[in-house]
């Protein structure tokens, strides 16, 4: 009998679980940052599932990068606005 292919979300959780040892040894501030990245991958799992990539890891990392870039863009806009206000 064949095995059922796990959903992307299940595969993502399995991939995240593989990093649990690393997560435990990180400094608290780095652990928090990595947990936030994992949560980003979870939050963008729908997009990752449509990527049709053979590697869950690739999709997971790409969704993390998308979130980070969005944050960078937001911070740049805020900085530009502050600079504009200051003259």
List the one residue out of 41, 50, 40 whose CA is nearest residue 15: 41
Q: Which pTM was predicted?
A: 0.77
pLDDT tens column, 46-70: 888 887 667 889 989 988 999 999 9
pLDDT tens column, 7-33: 899 999 999 999 999 999 999 999 999
Query: b/e map of 56-86 (b: 16 or more CB within 10 Å)?
Result: bbebbebbbeebeeeeeeeeeeeeeeeeeee
- Other CB atoms within a 10 A radius of the CB of residue 8 amount to 19
């Amino acid at each position: 009998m064949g095995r059922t292919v796990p959903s992307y979300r299940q595969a993502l959780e399995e991939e995240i679980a593989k990093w649990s040892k690393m997560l435990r040894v990180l400094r608290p501030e780095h652990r928090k940052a990595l947990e936030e990245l994992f949560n980003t991958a979870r939050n963008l799992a729908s997009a990752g599932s449509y990527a049709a990539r053979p590697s869950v890891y690739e999709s997971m990392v790409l969704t993390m990068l998308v979130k980070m870039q969005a944050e960078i863009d937001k911070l740049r806009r805020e900085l530009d606005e502050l600079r504009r206000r200051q003259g």
